[in-house]
Amino acid sequence: MIKELHLKNILEVKNLTKFYLVKRHPFELKKRPLPAVVNFSLTLRQGELFGLVGESGCGKSTLGKLILLLETPDQGEIKWKGQDITKLSSRELKAWRRRCQPIFQDPLASLNPRQTVEQILEEPLVVHNLFRGKRLRQRKITRILQEVGLPAHFKKRYPHELSGGQRQRVTIARALILEPEFIVADEPTSALDVSVQAQIVNLLLDIQKSRNITYLFISHDLSLVAHIADRIGVMYMGQLVEIMARRHFQTNHHPYTECLLKAIPSFGKKPLSPVLGEPPNPLKLPPGCPYQTRCPYKKRVCSQEKPALKQITGGHLIACHLF
């Protein structure tokens, strides 16, 4: 494994905040700000796979969209190798989009049903004016299909003719064809069967090794992320509550991470440990720690002061008053 110290910071997210304006019922005149991502800071290092975990509605997908600039942040900056990409001109942005590619959850929804695999893979090359000439592009497409483990005759197929795993391979090929340095994978395997999930995850790991790509791997499945990530971030109500390297996995955790770990079903673990309640309404969050409504270790300070991310040991950060 590469020593962490030698890794270069590639992406720095600082105090990123995004509010969505929502109405609580259709006739309400005033829209309320719903905090999706709050004061989010994160640094990704070159060539690492950063796994981001959280429940549905915790803002992990919003964060992915913000980093891809599919949503405009309300506050904060996203720095790519020192340059703030939220302030780029549209031409610079196009160049940046080549380096940063997404893989989404549902491959059938993210592939155009009226395009063949060949057309799907050719379009990014045409848009970015790479590999000029039909023959060069064809050769590139064949090569990329081979890399993701699809036979060349799949070029003429439409997405509906492929299985779920094959479709996800096509979206991976589409992301890779521009030779990006950074991939945001938003739940790339949650629509797939376990056996196919393992295949797709291995493909992503192989690509990481062969191309030195940096990943932001967003998932709700902590046990999957713990297997493949170099570092893991746990998100709750739009904030990071814990960041750990994989060597910290067997140590103490934030109460929320603990609860997630307990909730994972496994063989020979019976009866199930009770998990506390449902996530609170983000419009009515109490002051202080966002996790206090479900936390079994709640103290008085938790409802008064919001805990900041503190270093526990080197590279292991937890936002909790217990530590």
Partner 1 sequence: MLLRVENLRVWFQNDQNWVKALSGISFELNQSESIGIVGESGSGKSVTALAILRLLPEKGMRIKGKVWFEDKDIYALSSQELCRLRGKKIAMIFQDPLTALNPVFTVGEQVSECLRYHYNLSKSQAKEQTIKIFQDVGIPAPESRFFAYPHQLSGGMRQRVMIAMALALRPKILIADEPTTALDVTIQAQILKLLQEIKDRQKMSLVFISHDLTVVAQIVERVLVMYAGAIIESGSLKQVCESPLHPYTQGLLNSIPRIEEISQEKRRLPVLCGERQEREIGCPFYGRCPKKMSICLKERPPFKEPISGHKVACWLYD
Residue 155 zone, left/alpha/beta (φ > 0; ψ -120 to 50; rest): alpha
When asked if residue 280 is in the footprint of partner 1 (CB under 8 A), the reply is: no
Q: Which of 33, 136, 156, 274 binds partner 1 (CB under 8 A)?
A: 274
Judged by beta carbon, residue 139 or residue 227, the one nearer partner 1 is 227
**94 Cβ neighbours under 8 A, 6+ residues apart:** 128
For the segment 46-105, give every residue that binds partner 1 (CB under 8 A): 49, 55-56
Q: Of 75-83, 97-105, 271-279, 306-314, which part binds partner 1 (CB under 8 A)?
A: 271-279
Q: Write out the binding residues for partner 1, residues 38-57 only, by CB under 8 A.
A: 49, 55-56
Residue 223 binds partner 1 (CB under 8 A): yes
Kindly state the number of chain residues that form the binding site for partner 1, as judged by CB under 8 A. 51
Least distance to partner 1 from the beta carbon of 59, Å? 14
Mutual angle of helices 164-176 and 194-211, in 10-degree steps? 20
DSSP state, residue 68: T
Question: Other C-beta atoms within 10 Å of 199: how many?
Answer: 15
**115 vs 120: CA distance, rounded Å:** 6
At position 263, the amino acid (one-letter code) is: A
Which of 61, 168, 197, 214 is in the footprint of partner 1 by CB under 8 A? 197
95: three-class secondary structure by DSSP: helix
Q: Does residue 261 bind partner 1 (CB under 8 A)? A: yes
DSSP letter string, 98-165: HHEEEE-S-HHHHS-TTS-HHHHHHHHHHHTT-S-SHHHHHHHHHHHHHHTT--GGGGG--GGGS-HH
Choose which of 34, 108, 178, 226 interacts with partner 1 (CB under 8 A).
226
Q: Does 210 bind partner 1 (CB under 8 A)?
A: no
Among 264, 283, 301, 308, the residue binding partner 1 under the rule CB under 8 A is 264
| 250 touches partner 1 by CB under 8 A | yes
CB 220 within 8 A of CB 52: no
Residue among 129, 135, 278, 296 that touches partner 1 (CB under 8 A): 278
Q: Considering only residues 221, 258, 288, 309, which one is a binding residue for partner 1 as defined by CB under 8 A?
A: 221
* Interacting residues with partner 1 between 129 and 188 (CB under 8 A): 163-166
Torsion of the alpha carbons at 309, 310, 312 and 314, rounded to the nearest 10: 90
The one-character DSSP state at 193 is: -
Residues that bind partner 1 (CB under 8 A): 1, 49, 55-56, 163-166, 193-199, 201-202, 205-206, 220-224, 226-230, 246-247, 249-250, 259-275, 278
